[in-house]
Chains A and B, each alone.
Chain A
């Protein structure tokens, strides 16, 4: 308390002291004060960003965030069991590519092609899950491995080219059909269809977690594996199923992403796994499992989307954006730790 620069902070500090606050209360006050300051700064940058408060921007932003929200729902399930799924971005890229390749090259009609890609996503999730539960490989390492493998498979599948691409366009179907584009870019009653789909899946995720036996098992496994097992819950099956679900949702996100971009490629959804983990953590889910939910993750994903959008509108350089995002993730988790330690 030796050095205080401005008169204002001195008087605030005096005020806290005069109020006879305990050290814990002071830290709690500081935490809330910081949250307030950050929120005000955030609001300032948001509201002064050129073109932020336009309908166009809102539509653009919600279309961009839709796949991220679905990935955040997937990641929430996995993290709640105490696991982590680093492969969601790769699965999204692979599944989106698979749908496009199946339609453009293999002449499979679009809906069966999408179904195929969703099943492939679920299957890839099952592989990760089984490596973890049956093989005893730690979640982090297992999905780190499947992440790289699946990216490689996606590259092989697409030959490293966008699908459809100018090279293949001459001989094969040159464009994706309107159905898949509608998933990514369409509207229902003036609202982007992709954001509606993602909201539906937030709702489904909430239902699963709070109102089903499977959801309860997820919390039990993440809270205490031993206690869950002794209470008759099949820990391995629960974990494997969350990875299957995560793969399925990641595939759906990949299909929507493909529709939005009007093209698929093996490298899309780059870094999506970290985005999704950040959304989950910002949303208040415990990284060690057992506590949290999808509603928080939804808002986490929205905050991330707004931030990205505002950085773009404020003309922050792409490279600097990465630095900013990384620091923000660390800052949020750090803050969360402080809050857990002193907040209550």
Chain B
């Protein structure tokens, strides 16, 4: 048997309240892409953090080509030939591509140690060429798109002489389809050079496309490793959640009530153009659009975060003036942000987060009724099945899916009857997704109107009663539930884009 390039033995890591990795074994061979899938909080990212030297392990052993190593720091990991591809964070936008690739290790010229620019650019060009990347090394990183930046992250790792292991954590989350294909081409090319790749992703489809073996993690344990041809979707999902998922996207038919929201001609100069929509009680309205279509801008304008230049908003038939989020909340709107960091106070306890939009309800003469607040929080923790060791847990210590439930509880507590959900299942695992879908259905059943902004086609198609397609800041098409296919939606979203260009 071959010696694995990387072998991890009984590795263990605990954070307060969480056993993030529970004696996990893992191995990686030369020229292999080994994918790790699992729910949020399964321990995938923790493993990568340990391998890249960002976090120390509590116990266990790591072997590289059979030699036992201790990884002390990110620098040390790089010396060992382990490179982590960060999503976007580790590049300096003001510097050129070449300077970034060799950051901190620029070739020097004697006698004063000045930077040897010709050599720097030549070597960067070599590395980029080897990867098949056609980017000018003199270009400033600030002029590059997301995908290109990611390629530079990879190039950065190849500037190490002994690069042998690449770690990817959700590399495609900010990439378009075409950019993703390009990244995959590069991964395939890198593989052929005998480099081992650990690939962490939420997206099963990608995993099938790129990997050789798949390991499934759950609750800090490795459930199993399959070769990719054995790993059909149902098996993997069953391993991830530990039970069979009969319905991935449950859709309940809900009787719709009267109109609760009407938007007429909403315009934000330069971003949104003449948006019209109406929303009824019990309705789930999907708004689909590609990146840059204006979905989030629409949500922000509706919620009073950005100013509307013209247009009218009616709630329950009455015209309302929304110029700040407080107005929106008063009118019965709730806004689940795309990024959980923007919606939650990570340092504060669960009850404080849940009651924040509606503090007035829990106060008399400006004084808070602490007991009433805790009772309400307890109720929502139970209703939404929020998985926490204690009520007063800081939200920052919860897993992504659980945080999303706390964020939803906020708007339930504020008694919002119009919910704007921006990518409600972004970055959470399959199991939590299904629970979020169930909650959305439940909300609609209780008479709320839901506007679900999403870029995930299957989610929109399965859940929404009606779908508006957004492109270039306008609504360009409308479909009833069951009327459209994925291709229809995509076509509508793309065709208009082309017209604009």
Contact = CB atoms under 8 A, between A and B. Distances in A.
Contact of B366 (A22, A214, A344): A214
Interface residues of B, number: 32
Interface stretch (B115-123, B336-344, B474-482): B336-344
Given A213-B363, A232-B325, A232-B326, A224 B410 contact: no
A220 B345 contact: yes
Q: Most chain-B Cβ atoms within 10 A of its Cβ — which of A214, A230, A291?
A: A230
Contacts of B253: none
B288 interface: no
Contacts of A216: 352, 356, 359, 368
Given A224-B345, A344-B16, A230 B324 contact: no
Given A228-B345, A230-B342, A219 B370 contact: no
B366 A212 contact: yes
A216 B344 CA distance: 14
Interface string A185-220: 000000000000000000000000001111011011
A228 B212 CA distance: 45
A312 interface: no
A231 interface: yes
A211 B343 CA distance: 23
B335 interface: yes
B54 to A, nearest CB: 14
Nearest to B394: A291
A224 B324 contact: no
B58 interface: yes
Contacts of A37: none
A230 B325 contact: yes
A112 to B, nearest CB: 28
Contact of A223 (B328, B329, B345, B366): B345
Contacts of A230: 303, 305, 325, 335, 337, 342-343
B112 interface: no
B366 A290 contact: no
Interface string A329-343: 000000000000000
Contacts of A233: 326, 356
B347 A231 contact: no
A234 B324 contact: yes
A343 to B, nearest CB: 11
A244 to B, nearest CB: 16
A211 B356 contact: no
A226 B337 CA distance: 10
Contacts of A223: 345-348
Nearest to B343: A227
Given A211-B368, A231-B410, A226 B326 contact: no
B348 A219 contact: yes
Interface string A226-245: 11111111100000000000
A101 to B, nearest CB: 35
Contact of B367 (A211, A219, A228, A290): A211
Interface string A121-155: 00000000000000000000000000000000000
Interface residues of A, number: 25
A211 B324 CA distance: 25
B220 interface: no
A282 to B, nearest CB: 20
Contacts of B431: none
A291 B335 CA distance: 25
Nearest to B337: A230
B356 A220 contact: yes
A227 B16 contact: no
B427 interface: no
Contacts of A23: 56
B32 to A, nearest CB: 33
A290 B347 contact: yes
Interface string B363-393: 1001110100000000000000000000000
A230 B347 CA distance: 17
Contacts of B345: 219-220, 223-224, 227-228, 290
B447 interface: no
A227 B352 contact: no
Contacts of B325: 229-232
Nearest to B359: A213
Interface in B296-354: 303, 305, 324-326, 328-330, 335, 337, 341-348, 352
Nearest to A288: B347
B357 interface: yes
Contacts of A290: 345, 347-348
Given A229-B325, A230-B335, A344-B16, A224 B352 contact: no
B248 interface: no
Q: Most chain-B Cβ atoms within 10 A of its Cβ — which of A22, A226, A227?
A: A227
A24 B360 CA distance: 44
A291 B363 contact: no
Interface string B410-430: 100000000000000000000
Nearest to A213: B359
A248 to B, nearest CB: 17
B343 A212 contact: no
Contact of B368 (A212, A226, A234): A212
A111 B429 CA distance: 65
A223 B344 CA distance: 9
Contacts of B343: 227, 230
Contacts of B363: 212-213
Given A224-B345, A227-B343, A228-B345, A213 B356 contact: no
A226 B344 CA distance: 9
A243 B343 CA distance: 26
A109 to B, nearest CB: 33
Given A230-B325, A231-B356, A211 B342 contact: no
Contacts of B344: 224, 227
Interface string B55-99: 010100000000000000000000000000000000000000000
Contact of A226 (B58, B342, B359): B342
19 contacts: A23-B56, A212-B366, A216-B356, A219-B352, A220-B348, A224-B345, A226-B342, A230-B335, A230-B337, A231-B329, A231-B357, A231-B410, A232-B329, A232-B330, A232-B356, A290-B347, A290-B348, A291-B347, A344-B16
Interface of B: 16, 56, 58, 303, 305, 324-326, 328-330, 335, 337, 341-348, 352, 356-357, 359-360, 363, 366-368, 370, 410
Interface of A: 22-24, 211-214, 216-217, 219-220, 223-224, 226-234, 290-291, 344
5 closest residue pairs by CB, A with B: A232-B326, A232-B329, A223-B345, A231-B356, A231-B357
Given A213-B368, A224-B346, 13 more contacts: A211-B370, A217-B359, A219-B348, A219-B352, A220-B348, A226-B341, A227-B341, A227-B345, A228-B356, A230-B335, A230-B337, A232-B324, A234-B324
